[in-house]
Amino acid sequence: SLKAYNVPKRYRGHWKNKNCWLTISKRHISGNYFTKHGTTYRWTAKAQRHVSNHIVLCSRYRKWLTIGLAGGERSYLVRKGKNLKLYIDTWVETLHR
């Protein structure tokens, strides 16, 4: 019942700063605040029932990419010029390539 999700090209790559890193490919997202090797699936009500550290649920709203582990809190990614801003709960990380 899970549907595959391809991450848009503008978000792909290896993003980092001194505290955080994030690697995004066409179908996988990994990082120190997320899973070590997560496959991306479309965010639906049925998909939220599949709790696993290897599943990352994704959806897109305008320029925002919503990501998160199933059953966990949501995080948001937005591309600001050459940087990528990662919003987790109440704090923001600015990542660069």
Which pLDDT tens digit goes with each residue over 4-25?
A: 999 999 999 999 998 889 999 9
Phi/psi at 8 (5° precision): -60, 150
Q: Are 77 and 86 in contact (CB under 8 A)?
A: yes
Query: Which single residue is written with the structure tokens 């940087």?
Result: 83
| Mean pLDDT across the chain | 87
Residues forming a β-bridge with 23: 14, 30
C-alpha angle with apex 3: 58 to 70, nearest 5 degrees? 45
Q: What does pTM read for this prediction?
A: 0.87
62: β partners: none
